[in-house]
Amino acid sequence: MGRVAFVLKGYPRLSETFIAQEIAALERRGLQILIVSLRHPTDARRHPVHEEIRAALLYLPEYLYQEPLRVFRSWWAQRKKSNYLAARSLWLRDFLRDPTPNRIRRFGQALVLASELPRDVTRLHAHFLHTPASVTRYAALLSGLGWTGSAHAKDIWTTPEWEKREKLASCEWLVTCTAANHAHLAALAPADRVELVYHGLDLSRFSSLEKSGAKRNGSDPADPVVILSVARLVEKKGTDILLEALARLPAHLHWRLVHAGGGPLKDRLERHARSLGIGARIQWRGACTQTELLAAYRAADLFALASRVARDGDRDGLPNVLAEAQSQGLACVATRVSGIPELLEDGHTGLLVAPESPGEIALALAELIADPARRGTLGEAGRQRVAKHFGLDANIARLAHKFGL
């Protein structure tokens, strides 16, 4: 078996631990991998799992004008090959429907990938159905290789239907991480082309630990209940809704919010918190490593995530942070969006509320802030459910089988 080239939008990324975790697990099972990244890393730090990965790295030109000679040499080499005209025709059809600079960049990156692909690579695998799958599809046609893919969240819901149909028709198989995603994609694909495979949580990295502070009930201003939220500061995560919910909590309940995650809305959300009069009760920690997150889960009493469907259709799949929080026995308050109800069972392993509803979130938070016993019951049920159904080993075994291991 030859190597598989995993085509990613960027690597390494702190916000895409699930991909690094998958690559490391597949390597342990014997899969030889080349990581192909469309962008250079922007995060200054790395997770411990990144240090375990042994795959070689190939960075494509992030923008074609930055490496014009590399792009030209690749085009010159590919234009003489038998599959070039078919690949160019495919790209031109796509470009006529999507005449954007990004579409031009995808074909240029595909030319470089096809030209620089090591001979021992026998398959391409795209993580995300939008840009990475476009580059992968063009490069697969140029090089005469088959391609497969993994679809997750934004890539599904912001890609036009015509493009999803054509990609699903041309790939050998595709996996996706929620039943909601699967139902949507399977309706657009040939029979049995799409399979549901949850990411799974590496429980060896998230072993449970007896929680301290389990008796906090919000009555002591010197020892407030710690609410944790881990989310990129982007629209679909609904952090503005969470802030509005927190501002509605009764004055007699004492709490503080620890938020982990960076993003483009950071300054705006910090201003929003101050305007609501709760800025002093929030710690904005920015992007954190997996080790830092584990410590944050263990120090918290309660987890909250207010996911929503963004205006462009973007939404979460099944946020890994919810599984991580539950693995540490944290009761969770989250919204009924996409795959979240597949993980969180309302009233049993956490509390589910409607998206875009700060009032409902406030009621759920107030209930759990004041009731540590209820938090403990929900948290323990969540921990058991994650261990039984959302562990890494069983889910990665299904993916490994699809790769022929």
Are 397 and 361 found together in one domain? no
Q: What is the mean pLDDT of the chain?
A: 95
User: pLDDT by residue (tens digit) across 369-388?
Assistant: 999 999 999 999 999 999 99
**Residue 339 CB coordination number (10 Å):** 23
Q: Are 156 and 135 in contact (CB under 8 A)?
A: no
Are 273 and 311 found together in one domain? yes
Residue 218 to residues 16, 136, 203, 276, Cα–Cα distance (Å): 34, 52, 31, 20
Are 395 and 357 found together in one domain? no
Are 398 and 273 found together in one domain? no
Say what the pLDDT of residue 214 is: 62
Are 180 and 253 found together in one domain? no
User: pLDDT by residue (tens digit) across 127-173?
Assistant: 999 999 999 999 999 999 999 999 999 999 999 999 999 999 999 99
Return the DSSP state at 148.
E
Say what the pLDDT of residue 374 is: 97
Q: What distance lies between CA 195 and its chain's CA centroid?
A: 18
Phi, psi of 58 (to 5 degrees): -125, 115
For the domain that residue 152 is a member of, what is the CATH number?
A: 3.40.50.2000
Q: At 357, list the tokens.
A: 């509803």
Cα(100)–Cα(239) distance, integer angstroms: 31
Helix 101-116 to helix 68-78 angle, to the nearest 10 degrees?
70
Say what the pLDDT of residue 351 is: 98
133 domain residue, yes or no: yes
Say what the pLDDT of residue 211 is: 58
Instruction: Classify 176 as helix, strand or coil.
Output: strand
What's the chain's Rg over C-alpha atoms?
22
Say what the pLDDT of residue 205 is: 79
User: pLDDT by residue (tens digit) across 176-212?
Assistant: 999 999 999 999 999 999 999 998 888 887 876 665 5
36 domain residue, yes or no: yes
Are 180 and 269 found together in one domain? no
216 domain residue, yes or no: no
Are 243 and 259 found together in one domain? yes
Are 369 and 395 found together in one domain? no
173 domain residue, yes or no: yes
Confidence (pTM): 0.88
User: pLDDT by residue (tens digit) across 48-99?
Assistant: 889 999 999 999 999 999 999 999 999 999 999 999 999 999 999 999 999 9
Q: Are 402 and 195 in contact (CB under 8 A)?
A: yes
Say what the pLDDT of residue 204 is: 81
Place of tokens 């949507």: 184
Are 395 and 378 found together in one domain? no
Q: Which has the higher per-residue pLDDT, 318 or 167? A: 167
Q: At 375, list the tokens.
A: 């938090």
Domain of 348 in residue numbering reads as: 225-389
Q: How many domains does the chain have?
A: 2
Alpha-carbon dihedral sign for residues 342, 346, 349, 355: positive
CA-based angle 49:53:59, to the nearest 5?
A: 110
User: pLDDT by residue (tens digit) across 266-304?
Assistant: 999 999 999 999 999 999 999 998 899 999 999 999 999
Are 179 and 308 found together in one domain? no
Are 395 and 384 found together in one domain? no
Are 361 and 398 found together in one domain? no
Cα(172)–Cα(276) distance, integer angstroms: 51
